[in-house]
Every structure is written in C-alpha cells, then in structure tokens.
Structure 1
Amino acid sequence: MNDSATHVLVLPSYNTGPILERTVREALRYWRPLWLFIDGSTDGAHEVFLKKPEEWPGLRVFVSQTNRGKGATAAWAADEAARAGFTHLLLMDADGQHPADRVPELMSLSAQRPEACVMGQPDFGPDAPWVRLAGRQLSVGLTQFETLWGGLADPLFGMRVYPVGPLREVFKGTRFARRYDFDPEVAVRLFWAGVPPLRCRVPVRYVPAEEGGVSHFHYLRDNAFMLWLHVRLLLSFVPRCFSVARLSRRFRRQQDGGGGPLCSC
C-alpha cells in the first residue's frame, strides 16, 4: 500500500481501551498514512505504538497530556495536516463503530470532489441503543433547518473527509466546536461557508462492552449541551438565512444533476 500524499486518516482517541490496537491495525490495512491523536488518555492503550514504532509502518502518534475534547483534537490535526502538506483528512472514531473498510471509498469520493465535505450517512443495525437513536433526531431536524434542507448527512455521525483549508477557517471563526459539539457545528458552518456536502452511506456497529466497546456519552449532560449548541446556531442562522437559502438551492440543483451528485454510495 502506498502512502497518500494528499489525504490522511486521523483517529482521535480518549481512553478507548484494548479496542484501540484492533482499530489501528484494521485501519492500517486500508489506508496510510494514519495519524493517531491521543487526547489525554490515562489507560495506557497507546503505549504499544510508542514502544515499538517500527512494527507500525504508516502510523504516526501525537500525544496530548491533557484532555482537549474531540473538536480541539480535530483542530490540532487540521493544523498538523496543513503543516505536512495534506489537503484533506478523514476523521474516524477509534472505538470500533466506524468501519475501516469504507475508508478507501470515502477517500475516493473526496478525490473526485475535493471541494466537498464527504459525510458518512449511518446505517444503524439492531445493536444501536434506541435511546441514542431517539435522542439524535432533534439534532438531525435542527441542522436540516439551519441549512434549509441543503443535503447534510446525519450531523452526529463523525466519519467524514474534510478539506483541511475550510475546516481550519471554521475553527478560526468560532470559539466553540471544541468538544461534543464539534460534529454538528462544523457540518453546519462548513455548509454556510459554501462547502458542499457529499453523502455516503456507512454501516455502524455499536461494540458491546464484553468485546471492549466503550462510550463516554452522558445522555442528559450531552443532550443539554446539544440544545445549547443549536440555540447558538439558530441565532447565527437568522442574519444569514438568505445566503443559506441560495446555497441550499445551489446544492440541491447539483444533487438533482446540475453539477454532479451530492449523494453517493
């Protein structure tokens, strides 16, 4: 497998446990380079990569001693990617939910449409907790309104290929989007910035605890956090609603065949 000179695969990880090694090993089968960002983990799962780096060709490990949050880690990764000359990065969860075998397809779509944000649209299986599925519907509906139904995929699903330049500009434009609010806020703000969404269906697996699955989601706290996020976005949406309407019409025309499909896979 040859390393890509333009697209880098990024795994943020916080106390992922033993499943981390399995995820990294699987991801390296499908894409290189792979960058692993350790976000203040205390479980020591990443030490295996640091002790014998020669056994992990194509892998580079970045370690933060403090927990920054997923969004702050993504901002860090985007800065490092730009410094290294990469134009795009694919964010993939390290907890086993995102399928590594779909990485080449997502990267290929990005290469065909480099101006777009390639967004995974999740296909949930019977293992998905109903409470998680029910809770995300409000965020799905609100982001559709905040983009006037312009074609965003599920805003809470984080397997996406981002153009590095626009992603960095979004981070410069807001002091938020640094923790759990990262995925939906960045999706909306990239849309507002004129980055077209390109959707691709991706199966999702919720790994049970007996297989090493972990979750740092707190239902009440994180849903309250999401409500505050959408209050902020709606307040920002009002003064730009006419420009958002123009973008939505343009992207829908492209989706209908005027400029290439926005929905693939």
Structure 2
Amino acid sequence: MQSLASMPTPTASSTHLVLIPSYNPGLKVDETVRAARACWNPVWVVVDGSTDGSTERLQAMAANDPGLHVMVLPTNCGKGGAVLAGIEAAAARGFTHVLTLDSDGQHPTELIPRFMAASQAQPDAMVLGRPKFDASAPWIRVQGRRLSNLFADIETLWAGIGDSLYGFRIYPIEPLKTIMQRHSWMRRFDFDPEAAVRLCWAGVPPIQIEAPVRYFSAHEGGVSHFNYARDNLLLTWMHLRLLGGFGVRLPLLAAKKVLGRRETA
C-alpha cells in the first residue's frame, strides 16, 4: 500500500478540516485515515479513550504526516464528547467548519471534496449526508432509523434534515459549539440527530447530498459498538426532550415556515 509520505498532498485548508472521532475501531481506522488524507488536508483524529492499540498506530502515522493531527482523550467520552473536544480545539486554531467522519470505514471518503465544496459555497449551512444503503446494511437498522427521521422532521417542521442519524456531515463550528456547551447531555451516540435538530432551530439551513454507506462484517474487519437496547433508549429519551422543545418553539417555527413560503412565492 502506498505510504502517506509518497502520496500527493492536498493543499491545506485554513477553514475546513476532517474530524474523525475514534473509539476502539480496529484496523479499519488505518484505511479510513489514509483515504481521508488522500482527499483532504488537514485531518484530525480524536481518540476517545481507545484501548485496542489504534492510538499508537495513529500517532505513528501522524509523526510522519504534518497534515494529520491526533488528539487523545484519556477516557471514553462518547461520540459527542469527542466531537466537542475536536471542535473546541479546531476553533482555537481558527477553523470554521468540520466534516465528521466515522473511523470504521463506513463513510465514503471519496466524497469529502464534494461536501467541502458545498460548504465553502454556502458556509452558513450544514451539509448532511443522505445515506444510500446497499445489501450490507442490517435491515432492522435501516427500518429503525426511519422513526428517528420522522421525529426529526416533525421537530423541525420538515426543514430538510433528511437522515438525522448519518454522521457523514459538515457542521459550522461556532453554532455547534455554542449548542453543545449549553446542553451538557449531548455527548453520546444520540449526538448526531440532536445536533441537526438544534442547529435547524438556531437557523442553520441544511443541505443534503447523497452518499453511500458500507457496513462491514466482523470477517471484513468491521467493528460495531451499537447496542440496540441501550442506544434506542437513548434515542427515545432524546426525541422526548426535543419534542418538548419543539412545543415551545412551534409558533416561531410555524411563522418562519409561512414567511419562507411567501418569500419564495
């Protein structure tokens, strides 16, 4: 396999970076980081208390690649916690946007430049992946996410989130950081849908771009930390919170919806 040192290096962006939260991802993280670096510069990995040996491999990669930065959290904080640590550090260095990418190889790194271009053309928006599933996707997870997506549509009056759970997306850092610092519970698996809904409430428009998803079996090196009972309970509690917030915001959301229709008429 071609080494990072011998690859053509994309021009470094001073505003947009790829942010990869990573917790015990197995060997797939090496492929994911190499593929991301081939498409973008810089790439940051937030190691979220991993204990599988991936930390040392990533640090060795970063030692030979100035476009790769590895942050190590001493204990597992959850996906939202890892993203928050990353965006706080990125904001301190002047970055304005992050593209979040799972470390397990499921997301299409080849689409990173397309997503970044869409964000650069409309920097006030969030760019959300609209997943295209293949035969590798577990049926129960594909069907189950439809309920979460329906709730997200209701909570935003169909603002255009599309798939609320797909973590391949670009966030404007400042509004996301403000929201996450205000809501201390946005730290676990349920971070992605709540972030999309609350950003819509804050006036950040969504842009959708179709992107494929690949689920790897254990034989292929895939690692999943999804727990059906625990994580579905987290999602249920999250949507109950959001529905309460939606009730309070409903008059304002409805007024914005009506005004938006008048402006486009």
The question of a shared fold, defined as TM-score above 0.5 by the shorter chain, is answered with yes
Cα offset, 1:242, TM superposition = 1.5
Letter in 2 for 1:160: R
Cα offset, 1:125, TM superposition = 0.6
Trace 1:80-99 onto structure 2 (pairs within 5 A). 80-99=89-108
Cα offset, 1:172, TM superposition = 2.4
| Cross-structure match for 1:29 | 38
CA distance in 2, matches of 1:85, 1:227: 36
- Flag the 1:145–1:56 CA change in 2: closer, same or farther, 3 A: same
| Structure 2 residues not aligned, in runs of 5+ | 1-9
| Cross-structure match for 2:7 | none
CA distance in 2, matches of 1:225, 1:252: 35
CA distance in 1, matches of 2:161, 2:260: 10
User: 228, 231, 237: which is aligned to 1:222?
Assistant: 231
CA distance in 2, matches of 1:167, 1:226: 19
Cα offset, 1:174, TM superposition = 1.2
CA distance in 1, matches of 2:260, 2:104: 33
TM superposition score normalised by structure 1: 0.92
User: 116, 121, 124: which is aligned to 2:133?
Assistant: 124
Tell me the alpha carbon deviations over residues 76-102 of structure 1, each in whole angstroms, 9 at most, x when there is no partner.
111111100001011000101101000
Do the aligned residues in 1 keep the contact of 2:62 with 2:70 (CA within 8 Å)?
no
- Flag the 1:112–1:43 CA change in 2: closer, same or farther, 3 A: same
Matched, 1:137 2:152: no
Matched, 1:115 2:129: no
| Cross-structure match for 1:261 | none
- The RMSD of aligned alpha carbons is 1.7
CA distance in 2, matches of 1:172, 1:142: 24
User: 183, 192, 203: which is aligned to 1:194?
Assistant: 203
Do the aligned residues in 2 keep the contact of 1:196 with 1:251 (CA within 8 Å)?
no
- Flag the 1:90–1:247 CA change in 2: closer, same or farther, 3 A: farther
- Flag the 1:249–1:178 CA change in 2: closer, same or farther, 3 A: farther
CA distance in 1, matches of 2:260, 2:48: 35
| Cross-structure match for 2:189 | 180
Matched, 1:61 2:70: yes
- Flag the 1:181–1:252 CA change in 2: closer, same or farther, 3 A: farther
Letter in 2 for 1:157: Y
User: 52, 76, 79: which is aligned to 2:85?
Assistant: 76
- Flag the 1:247–1:157 CA change in 2: closer, same or farther, 3 A: farther
- Flag the 1:193–1:56 CA change in 2: closer, same or farther, 3 A: same
